Copies of this chain bind each other. A is one copy, B any other.
Amino acid sequence: MFLEKAMFIIGELINGMYKNIGKAIKEKDKAVIQRCALDQIKAGADALDINCGPVSKDPLSDIQWLVETVQEVTDKPLALDSSKPKVIEAGLKVIKNKVIINSTTADQEKLEILVPLAKKYNAKLIGLSISAKGIPQNKDQRLELAANIVAYCVEAGFPLEDLYLDPVLLPVNVAQAQQKDILESIREFKIISDPSPKTIVGLSNVSQGTKTRSLINRTFLTMAIAYGLDSAILDPLDKDLMDSAITAELILNKQIYCDSYLEAYRRK
């Protein structure tokens, strides 16, 4: 089964923007990448994001090397992460594990390429509620963009239960007044259609540039779970963050209580 529990956690750490990963990609150092994959899985990740990072000079080749390297040590789903459809397509060519496309926007030219690709590869698809016009400024604009993505998927025959809508988190220190709208978008996205699309956030964005990143991340995530969030891309090695997520699910009756419920989750 692909989604066995309520929150589907995608580990964010295999990303070339992190120094150690960027260096490992450049030097084709498999051990660093594979260790990072296994550490995240051990900490509770259900899937792994794969991103060459902004400095890759040959992203089509780099993403294929990353996918093949990770597939040597795990059969967990991989999220191919790039704003360039060609990079995602390159990754798909070597995928053996289950796969998530991360991500399309609400722009027609992206949807035209990525929705058919997602169908062809039986992939889940992350849809960001943004477009080339920019980042939405309120929840109505978010809902409109999300509804455009849903409409396109319906038209194309892409199953909505495989669509993950992302309201696009903004840093709390620059967009404080928008946070509540973003949380409410999580709830609103679920009622766009029947069957419901799923919801996802790229969590770390919310704390960019702040001095209490882990605290803000876990507080936002707990609130988002209260609003019905299905999935998050996050750092599973942040133990406090994972403890918060597991406990929020416990409270929503999605994890069974026992005195050692935190350990039980990690043994899953």
Contact = CB atoms under 8 A, between A and B. Distances in A.
B222 A253 contact: no
Interface residues of A, number: 34
A206 B247 CA distance: 12
Interface stretch (A42-50, A189-197, A255-263): A255-263
Interface stretch (A74-82, A125-133, A177-185): A177-185
Interface string A229-261: 000000000000001100110111100110111
A220 B183 CA distance: 17
A171 B212 CA distance: 30
A31 interface: no
A262 B212 contact: yes
A221 to B, nearest CB: 9
Contact of A226 (B172, B223, B259, B262): B223
Residue among A212, A247, A261 having the largest count of chain B Cβ atoms under 10 Å: A247
Contacts of A176: 250, 253, 256-257
A236 to B, nearest CB: 17
A247 B180 contact: no
A83 to B, nearest CB: 27
Given A243-B215, A251-B179, A262-B212, A257 B172 contact: yes
A227 interface: yes
Interface of A: 172-173, 176-177, 179-180, 183, 206, 210-212, 215-216, 219-220, 222-223, 225-227, 243-244, 247-248, 250-253, 256-257, 259-262
CB-CB nearest 4 A-B residue pairs: A223-B226, A226-B226, A219-B247, A222-B222
16 contacts: A176-B253, A176-B256, A176-B257, A206-B251, A211-B259, A211-B260, A212-B243, A215-B247, A216-B247, A216-B250, A219-B247, A222-B222, A222-B223, A222-B248, A223-B223, A223-B225
